[in-house]
A and B are shown apart, each in its own frame.
Chain A
Amino acid sequence: MSTHTTRPASQLDVQAIRRQFPILGEKVHDRPLVFLDSAASAQKPDAVIESMANTMRHQYANIHRGLHWMSERTTEAYEGVRDLVADFLNAPSREEIVFTRNSTEAINLVAHSFGALLRPGQAVLISQMEHHANLVPWQMLRDRAGIELRVAPITDEGDLDMEAYKALLADGKVALVAITHMSNVLGTITPAQQIAEQAHAAGALVLFDGSQSVVHHRTDVQALGADFYTFTGHKLYGPTGIGVLWARRALLEDMPPFLGGGDMISTVTFERSTWANIPHKFEAGTPAIVETIGLGAAIEWVGKIGFDAIAAHEAELTAHALHRLAEVPGLNIVGHPRVRGGVVSFTMADVHPHDMATLLDRNGIAIRAGHHCAEPLMRRLGLSATARASFGIYTLKEEIDVLADTLVRIRDFFV
């Protein structure tokens, strides 16, 4: 997916897709909404909205313990999503899929439960381009468990520095490498297979934060050589409040529970409790039933379109954006990674990202501006904030043209 090669023309009927997203017909400040903030959270198609509404209208009860028809049907729908997710990630088994609230909670689960198995002298290795979600839980673990937290540097282009990465693994103390599969700021798609190979060669396990990447291309946790993989539903055209942790069975079986409560136990007495089998050991309390069913609808919907078409469309959009934005006077694109997804960060000489965002918004264009929950990365880049445009399945090339044209006018206005 290099941005410098020619790609096949997109096979998506983007207009037909757009008609399935009711929100894309909305106007903002009397202008058609140009939504270029999908990396923060994607919009939802009718298929997801309807599946959630239909669940609540026609087929809803608490799951797993009910002995009545409604509970049994809802349990089937909920557990059916576990099969869909296992298939979506090409996980070896459905029991390895743990539902969480989001990717942040999934990483916290690993930091807590896998972290409980770590001892002083061991280390966790992250990278300079992590979202706070894949940084703060490890700092908390470090302070709690007395382990070391190492940070692998990135190059000025925004790629993981593989030589430095290898050197940080060399002493064999790293127990876990936790790295993003795609940067939410630079768009970098990290060489996950290579990262995993080198981690394993040094005796470390590897976790990938797939929050950004699962949206843009097919994910195969076995081919990647991952040990843990996390993602969130709301960036995948699904609802908020539902995320996923996949981990290899043996790891999940060795790890102590995260949260205690109903649904995660086998037997309970006042003296002690024993834990349910995986994955239920990690799913305490009534889960996000409706949201999980919505995630299932999102995965089925994305599956029907297919990642070949999605990846081709987004590669075309990204190449177009890099080309058009480069023409805007004073605009500087932040990050030039070797392989990238549909996220482009930029700054503009003499115009602060927040002023850009406000003026773009007045033109109906939604982008993100700020530190993108990656403050240490911003410091590494020598910036306090960037503007970020991100693309989804429903993004039109024409919307990127509107962005670029409006940025030219904003520059004229300020300079």
Chain B
Amino acid sequence: MKTATAERDALYDRLIVERARTPLHAGRLDRPDVQGDGRNPLCGDKTHLDIVLDGHHIQAIRHQTRGCAICAAAADLMAEQVQGSTIVQALDMSDRFMAMLVGPSPLAVADDLPAPLGALEVFAPLRSHKARIRCAELPWIALKEAFSHVDG
């Protein structure tokens, strides 16, 4: 069906639609060590993170997100990717994720940052949808906010 092509836009990868509809890492944790919030005043989207730490490792992370498909999927895939990593590794991933979206060029990202972003690469087409980049950034803002409460 010819008319369907625009819906099957690269921006809405199947994984994004699936995770927005059925998130795997949504919910709350009973005793989080740190929590973070992200809110986009322009659209009212918001995400809340509960994180349990083991030293500097992220042992468990859950998100509660109210927002568009991009935002909800970004939160779910972020939780999946950072679980088990250290805070430093997670923040590094955040930098690489944003470089992928707003960096000087996709090539530069590939050259300077060889580490793959895994499933998070489904958000790469956002580069050409500037108005929507904030949607994917929101959970990472919440993550940074959570880590700002961690000493050392």
Contact = CB atoms under 8 A, between A and B. Distances in A.
Interface of A: 29, 31, 350-355, 358-359, 362-363, 369-371, 378, 384-385, 409-410, 413-415
Contacts of A355: 12, 68-70
A413 B66 contact: no
A352 B67 contact: yes
A370 B43 contact: yes
A410 B17 CA distance: 12
A388 to B, nearest CB: 13
Contacts of A385: 43-44
B17 A370 contact: no
B42 A413 contact: no
Contacts of B71: 352
Contact of A371 (B11, B17, B43): B43
A409 B7 contact: yes
B7 A362 contact: yes
Contact of B68 (A31, A352, A378): A352
B128 to A, nearest CB: 11
Contact of A409 (B3, B43, B68): B3
Contact of A354 (B3, B7, B66, B68): B68
A414 B12 CA distance: 10
Interface in B57-72: 66-71
Contacts of A363: 6-7
B21 interface: yes
A414 B69 CA distance: 9
Given A31-B6, A385-B44, 10 more contacts: A352-B45, A354-B45, A358-B9, A358-B129, A362-B6, A369-B43, A384-B43, A384-B44, A409-B3, A414-B17
A375 to B, nearest CB: 8
Nearest to A29: B6
Contacts of B42: 370-371
| Chain B interface category by residue count | 20 to 34
Contacts of B115: none
A378 B44 contact: yes
B132 interface: yes
B4 interface: yes
A410 B7 contact: yes
Contacts of A414: 17, 20-21, 69
6 contacts: A352-B67, A352-B71, A354-B68, A369-B43, A410-B7, A415-B21
Contacts of A413: 7-8, 12, 17
Nearest to A413: B7
Nearest to B66: A384
A363 B7 CA distance: 8
A306 to B, nearest CB: 37
A373 to B, nearest CB: 11
A374 B42 CA distance: 11
Interface in B70-125: 70-71
A216 B108 CA distance: 51
B4 A409 contact: yes
A31 B3 CA distance: 11
A352 B138 CA distance: 16
Interface string B37-59: 00000111100000000000000
Contacts of B9: 358-359, 362
B135 interface: yes
A66 to B, nearest CB: 44
A354 B132 contact: yes
A355 B135 CA distance: 10
A371 B45 CA distance: 11
A29 B9 CA distance: 11
A84 B44 CA distance: 41
A352 B4 contact: no
A359 B67 contact: no
A256 B3 CA distance: 59
Nearest to B5: A362
Interface in B1-31: 3-4, 6-9, 11-12, 17, 20-21
Nearest to B45: A384
B135 A354 contact: yes
Nearest to A410: B7
A402 B71 CA distance: 27
A381 B61 CA distance: 32
B69 to A, nearest CB: 5
A378 B45 CA distance: 13
A390 to B, nearest CB: 19
Contact of A359 (B6, B20, B21): B6
B70 A371 contact: no
A359 B45 contact: no
A258 B67 CA distance: 41
Contacts of B7: 359, 362-363, 409-410, 413
